[in-house]
Amino acid sequence: MLRARSASREGAHVLIDTYGRVATDLRVSLTDRCNLRCTYCMPEEGLQWLAKPDLLTDDEIVRLIDIAVTSLGIEEVRFTGGEPLLRPGLVGIVERVAALDPRPQMSLTTNGIGLKRTAAALKEAGLDRVNVSLDTLRPDVFKTLTRRDRHKDVIEGLHAARDAGLTPVKVNSVLMPGLNDDEAPDLLAWAVEHDYELRFIEQMPLDAQHGWKRDGMITAGDILASLRTRFELTAEGEEKRGSAPAERWLVDGGPHVVGVIASVTRPFCAACDRTRLTADGQVRTCLFAQEETDLRAALRSGAPDEEIARVWRLAMWGKKAGAGLDDPTFVQPDRPMSAIGG
């Protein structure tokens, strides 16, 4: 159980909360737009996208990351969306962040559609690795899940990322009842064959339609049971896991591993080391938070870096002990995953 600290550390040069957790991992959403319409994320017609003036500019994004890295102890930066490859200035942003001192580790979460075209340029700019979302090996199921016929583009994007050296290439998969819930062993066999690191993610209550139901989701236990019908899995253990969200298992003794992110059934809030920045410049302490803190207003009012850092520290100081998914009063966030950043 987490215990709140009695004395404030707001003035320290880290993003610490009252439970002693220190955020060293920054997730930056570059856009809320996406070129897929995944059924567990948004409706077929899409969403009301953020207006361009509301989005952070490239300069504002780099400035906030600079503050996070040089003044707040951030060591890793993950670019997310929506679909971050839709951000026109992405390569330039990566290049500028790579030039920071100290230089953070940089990764990207993407649906992979644009990777064939951009992987080499992103690697040259300084990106270290990618996570690619792919829920199925079957093009027809992909079309049903995403409402787009782009399966071949994702596969080609994955190969391009691997060939460019954006490794380890991690593949994120969500299993949905009646659609792809039988594919876990096939996905793992395919990932091992192509030297990708597969990670299954439990479906989370972050869909724009608010249609998520706990009793309808495929759980971590379901996934592991399915995988064990074909593979021997050996747990790596908590010592190796650290603050990573995925529990990892060696596949048939290794060296390949498979991960399961059980955000709902096995929450890992006690080890959380993340802070989140939305595409419109709001700090979020948790994917499931109801509250946000506005950094965009501070940026555009001329606040100095020290004041922005102070506001950011204060926001993280108020981070809650957990996401509250097991609380009967849990309310799904109003903003969907595409707006928050994964």
DSSP string spanning 125-150?
Answer: HT--EEEEE---S-HHHHHHHHSS--
Res 214: pLDDT: 61
User: Is 34 marked within a binding site?
Assistant: yes
39 marked among binding-site residues:
no
Could you tell me the strand order of the sheet in which 247-251 lies?
233-235, 247-251, 257-261, 197-201, 170-173, 129-133, 105-110, 76-80, 25-29, 274-277, 282-284, 293-294
Give 175's pLDDT tier (boundaries 50, 70, 90): very high
Maximum Cα–Cα distance across the chain: 59
226 is in an annotated binding site: no
Domains by residue range for the chain, with CATH: 17-339 (3.20.20.70)
Instruction: Give me the mean pLDDT over the 314-319 stretch.
Output: 96
pLDDT at 226 > cutoff 60: yes
> According to the annotation, is 338 in a ligand binding site?
no
Sign (positive/negative) of CA torsion 97, 120, 136, 46? Answer: positive
Tell me if 41 is assigned to a ligand binding site: yes
Q: Please tell me the number of Cα atoms within 13 Å of 190 on its side-chain side.
A: 18
Query: Is 269 a known ligand-binding residue?
Result: yes
pLDDT, residue 48, reads 77
Task: Check residue 265 and give its pLDDT.
Answer: 82
Is 57 annotated as belonging to a binding site? no
Determine the pLDDT at residue 10: 43
What share of the chain has pLDDT > 70, as a percent? 87
Is 24 annotated as belonging to a binding site? Answer: no
pLDDT of amino acid 7: 37
Q: Residue 170, annotated ligand binder?
A: yes
